[in-house]
Structure 1
Amino acid sequence: MYMYAIMLNRRPSAVACLMCVAILIFLFPHGSALARDSVTQPNVPMIGDYAGELREKQPRKDGFTHVDTPRLVRRLQEMGVNTYFYLIWHSASDWDDLRLEFLPAAKEAGIDVWVYLVPPSEARERRSEPYGTDYVAWMRAVGHLSRSFSNLKGVVMDDFNHNLSVFTPDYLRRMRAAGHEANPHLRFYPQIYQPAIRKELLSRYRGLFDGIVMTYRDGIYRNTQRTQQLEHQVTQISRLLHREGLPFVLMVHASKLSATPANPSARYVNETLRAGLSRLTQGELQGLITYVLQKDWFPETRDRLAKVGHGYGCLFVPPGSHPPAGRSGELKQVVFPEGPPPYRLTFYHRVIAPARLPAGQYIQEILVNGNRVWSQDAAIASRKNWQQKKLDLTPWLKGKREAVLQLRLARKQTGSRSWLFAAFDHLEATGFKMENPEFETAIGWTAYADHPAIIGETLVYDPRRRMRVYLQTMTLFRAYRWQEEIASALPEEFQKQREDFRNHLLQGRPTQALSSLDSLLKPFRQSSLESQHRLLQEGEMLKRLLSIAQ
């Protein structure tokens, strides 16, 4: 997309911001038709976003930088969401911004709101204000506020399963009683990670949850790189919650998960959203929420960790669950000696880990055909930045037509459960040929691990990631909601084309989706009804979005 050229390696200039505005005017020449529907009714799936709030540029007279409600609501409308999880945590003014400004604006825009609170484990340095960790008071206050705003639906509690010593069944009963005293329809959804959603937990809290929010992070191997387990986990949890009569809301990461190498790629967000919408279609989910979709677009320079260029080879061990001693992960490729020796390799390497990583747990290695050529303790490497190393590979490549070069992270001793990742970059070969030595694309290198707790990948920094993710999310959310809405307005002979459009969309086939969409617009172009004219406007906007997305 040529529009991505506006993105610079710093915060955007005034010209860049004007170009962003121009893009949105191009996409929404008639405003945001779909997002102004009435507030979500029962049985209508949640399509929503969490946090990532926009704030005003300058503090007000009270000293606080308040939520920029007009801009935030405008972005939510553009995205096509019907639900927003409003996080109260970043500023002491968040509660007042919610009740005095955001709720009425969201109601006018047709957006349901859930108050999202942080638990005691997240409230050591900063709390949700004004009630802090008094969650009985929070439920009472939200209940009273919801009587004035019908679009305020309930409370979501972050990291519920990490705070069970506080949120005992007795305490949760007190919380619910306080909320229901003010509004009997107020709902409570805990946010729980997949490994903890078990029959035993649901039995212990039976009747105390109104639904569950599960944030996907690949189970016990917490990361935002692998998507393969998402659909299996959703199916498994959906069956369990269905037996309990509990709605199931999936949250997928659009921004960085702590203790991971980088923000999730645009590919990752696209895959998880499509999988979530597919499961929404099949009835396994009752809601899909993006985790901190960024609504300001500038390069995330903290992700630019490469020694040279934008990419580097990464071997990542997530926190909490670790490989036993003797297990390893590697990036490898076949190299080809050319001409007589010597054969030399120069490369850069580093390790990023918490300061508490003890010595002797992990080592970085270079191998040729399984023979170790070089190694270094990862704990020692983690105390330094990029380091250069020069190796003579002549003894291992002499007389060979080809050989396998392996960049490895190996577990030496079982003990530490700390996260870490080893990085390799800027390889220079003398006397032999290799592909993609700068890791600027995903080609050339194959990732392999003998344990799922080691994740190998070529990580390429994307200065346009925020805008890519925003546009992808907007396209998927609005297209999904539109095809659902037109179902009752379409003649019977077009219903098969509507299903084709949805399937192409959710299976990542934008060209085919665009073709199906064009056919779907024909009956709306021929109609004089105002309601169908609105659907036509939305469909034409989707054509522009899908054209850009190709």
Structure 2
Amino acid sequence: MIHNFCRYGLLPVLLLSLCFPLLFPFSSWSAPAAAYADRKAPLPILGDYAGELREPHPRQDGIRHVDTVRTIRKLKELGVNSYLYLVWHAPTDWDDLRREFLPAAQKAGIDVWVYLVPPSEARSKSSEPFGTDYIAWFRAIGRLSQSYGNLKGVVMDDFNHNYSFFSPEYVAKMRSAGRKMNPELKFYPQIYYTGIKPDLIKPYRSLIDGVIMTYRDGKYRNTQRTRELDEQIEQAAGILRKEQLPLVLMVHASKLSATPSNPSVRYIQTSMRIGLDHMRKGNLQGLITYVLQKEWFPERKDRSAHSGFGYGSLFVPPGNHPSPGGWGEWQQPIVPDGSGKYTLDFYHLSVYPWRLRNGQYVKQVLIDGQVVWERDVHQDLTQRWKRAHIHLTPHLKGKKEAVLSLRLYRKQKGPTSWFYTGFDQLQPTGFQLANPGFEKPEGWTYRSNHPAVIGETLIFDPQRRLRVYLTTMMMYTLYRFHHQVNSYGGEAMKKEAGQLFTAIVEGRNQQALHRLNRLLERLNDHTSLDQDQRQQLQKMGKKLDHLLSVNP
């Protein structure tokens, strides 16, 4: 832990803040980049959504308002050129936007999009002051954009979950109200992959200007797997390309509801790398982080292991569930020591909502595929670790080797509901286990007969927020640097920049450092660049060098 704190501690970021005061202007984006290397191609959206900082103390109205100064400073440090401002957390958000945030963002060169919640999220709390009167919202936003050219448009959350409300006729009225004030005002609905289908998009083609797709693994709603992201981007981009609509990807940087924990740094790194690669290919016209945290402290709610930092999680997301007989498990081979006395002590956990019923799912321990212990997921209090003790002598006596499995098993039909289970602190007698406390990813193998059961070794990372922040800064700096080299540099520099881009996208940061040093050497010898262009590229290159060094 001392090593990790030194590696990811606050000192590198403080140094970055001191050494890299925002060194380059921001560009706006208004249309898909047809040819990435085109000198005239604008910089795509490098964005962030919500995660705004609040003032430390309430004002006279008793509300902690948006801390505009600190939020803008963080956005500039990250390299963001577009910010999706959520009007929802406090009744003063709209006034904070109009009076403080928009003028500050305009001065900083940051475009702003107003992000609204739909009726499905407005039952207990709606956006103020217009609530679910979205015609009034568009009219007010259009009027405000007359004074601030950096106010680009409106984003509607969970659009495809609210089609019954947002009929094409109603959306046409929304759009008309906004465009009467500003003909350039844009509307991007946020739609999940499962809602990006030709028959769903076509009725709205003339009413929207693009789509924001938030990735959460399609019908198996989670922020743990990225294996479908490439294919989903390609398919969604293909559908929207036929309608000449741009696609922007949103990546979860904070917790998705009804999941075991915040997404890991590795998950965010992988998602952003895939997103950047598709931006370079022209499949995406932007990348946005979802609730990127801008203050760094341990997220203690994620430290839910019984002991240490890690445990073996088995998670069933909302929606699509396995049929009876479906399972997922952690397993590893074991070698009995021949003593003839074998036991296993361990701790197990269940976290579930009220909808889960008795008898639907059970936790099991198996030896060579035979159940030796079973307990209903619903039998124990939620969020409480329970200790179990098993006598394994009858199941291991005389065996030279065996396979131990920790399984989640669907036993009966019932209402669909998310939940997750966990195993931790295994203490064997008469045999040994590798990684018995799930404190590292190694030792256990995950297996499943259905994709709706998701296994992950969940290891609490006290530096997660900081590492995600640094990762985002590095990815956005890379894209800006690559974009600038392709705009100003010669063919040799462009080739080197492409190799640098590929190395980082593939996670080969040490090779990327080598490529970057070669590119900076070429930059010094590049005579066609004027002084400002050279200095701009050098500063971005040095910033990228530092970021690669603290994110090895």
Q: Give TM-score, length-normalised by structure 1.
A: 0.95
Counterpart residue number, 2:545: 543
Q: Relative to 1, partners in 2 of residues 1:473 and 1:430: Cα closer, same or farther, differing over 3 Å?
A: same
Q: Relative to 1, partners in 2 of residues 1:120 and 1:467: Cα closer, same or farther, differing over 3 Å?
A: same
Counterpart residue number, 1:29: 19
Aligned positions of 1:83-94 closer than 5 A: 83-94=82-93
**Conserved? CA contact 2:106–2:148, under 8 Å:** yes
Q: Relative to 1, partners in 2 of residues 1:38 and 1:473: Cα closer, same or farther, differing over 3 Å?
A: closer
The Cα shift of 1:5 comes to: 2.8
Give the 3-state SS of the residue equivalent to 2:477 in structure 1: helix
Aligned positions of 1:429-444 closer than 5 A: 429-444=428-443
**Conserved? CA contact 1:191–1:215, under 8 Å:** yes
Using the alignment, how far apart are the partners of 1:499 and 1:263 within structure 2?
Answer: 32
Counterpart residue number, 2:37: none
Give the 3-state SS of the residue equivalent to 1:92 in structure 2: coil
Using the alignment, how far apart are the partners of 1:374 and 1:40 within structure 2?
Answer: 58
**Conserved? CA contact 1:88–1:95, under 8 Å:** yes
The Cα shift of 1:38 comes to: 4.2
Counterpart residue number, 1:352: 351
Give the 3-state SS of the residue equivalent to 1:290 in structure 2: strand
* 1:5 maps onto 2:10 in alignment: no
Counterpart residue number, 1:227: 226
Using the alignment, how far apart are the partners of 1:472 and 1:168 within structure 2?
Answer: 39
RMSD, aligned CA: 1.8
The Cα shift of 1:340 comes to: 1.3
Q: Relative to 1, partners in 2 of residues 1:516 and 1:65: Cα closer, same or farther, differing over 3 Å?
A: same
The Cα shift of 1:28 comes to: 4.6
* 1:175 maps onto 2:177 in alignment: no
The Cα shift of 1:506 comes to: 1.0
Using the alignment, how far apart are the partners of 1:460 and 1:226 within structure 2?
Answer: 16
Q: Relative to 1, partners in 2 of residues 1:155 and 1:4: Cα closer, same or farther, differing over 3 Å?
A: farther
Letter matched to residue 83 of structure 1: S
Q: Relative to 1, partners in 2 of residues 1:408 and 1:187: Cα closer, same or farther, differing over 3 Å?
A: same
Aligned positions of 1:282-297 closer than 5 A: 282-297=281-296
Counterpart residue number, 2:206: 207
**Conserved? CA contact 2:320–2:452, under 8 Å:** yes
* 1:459 maps onto 2:449 in alignment: no
The Cα shift of 1:29 comes to: 1.8
Offset from partner CA, 1:427-455 (integer Å, 9 cap, x none): 00000111110000011111111000000
Give the 3-state SS of the residue equivalent to 1:539 in structure 2: helix
Offset from partner CA, 1:366-406 (integer Å, 9 cap, x none): 10000100101111134461111110111111111111001
Using the alignment, how far apart are the partners of 2:7 and 2:144 within structure 1?
Answer: 41
The Cα shift of 1:61 comes to: 1.6
Give the 3-state SS of the residue equivalent to 1:305 in structure 2: coil
Q: Relative to 1, partners in 2 of residues 1:213 and 1:26: Cα closer, same or farther, differing over 3 Å?
A: closer
Q: Between the two proteins, what is the percent identity of the paired residues? A: 52
The Cα shift of 1:524 comes to: 3.5
The Cα shift of 1:33 comes to: 1.0
Q: Relative to 1, partners in 2 of residues 1:69 and 1:438: Cα closer, same or farther, differing over 3 Å?
A: same
Offset from partner CA, 1:45-75 (integer Å, 9 cap, x none): 1111100001110111222211111111111
Using the alignment, how far apart are the partners of 2:532 and 2:438 within structure 1?
Answer: 54
**Conserved? CA contact 1:211–1:248, under 8 Å:** yes
Counterpart residue number, 1:11: none
The Cα shift of 1:283 comes to: 0.5
Which stretches in structure 1 are left out of the alignment for 5+ residues? 9-15
**Conserved? CA contact 1:490–1:523, under 8 Å:** no
Letter matched to residue 546 of structure 1: L
* 1:512 maps onto 2:511 in alignment: yes
Using the alignment, how far apart are the partners of 1:89 and 1:3 within structure 2?
Answer: 40
Letter matched to residue 270 of structure 1: Q
Counterpart residue number, 2:447: 448
Using the alignment, how far apart are the partners of 1:155 and 1:204 within structure 2?
Answer: 19
Aligned length: 539
Offset from partner CA, 1:404-442 (integer Å, 9 cap, x none): 001001001122200011111110000011111000001
Q: Relative to 1, partners in 2 of residues 1:269 and 1:30: Cα closer, same or farther, differing over 3 Å?
A: closer
Using the alignment, how far apart are the partners of 2:541 and 2:206 within structure 1?
Answer: 42
The Cα shift of 1:339 comes to: 3.0
Letter matched to residue 445 of structure 1: W
**Conserved? CA contact 1:39–1:107, under 8 Å:** no
Give the 3-state SS of the residue equivalent to 2:19 in structure 1: coil
Using the alignment, how far apart are the partners of 1:212 and 1:162 within structure 2?
Answer: 14
Offset from partner CA, 1:144-196 (integer Å, 9 cap, x none): 11111111110000011111111111111110010011001111111111111
Which stretches in structure 2 are left out of the alignment for 5+ residues? 34-41
Give the 3-state SS of the residue equivalent to 1:379 in structure 2: coil
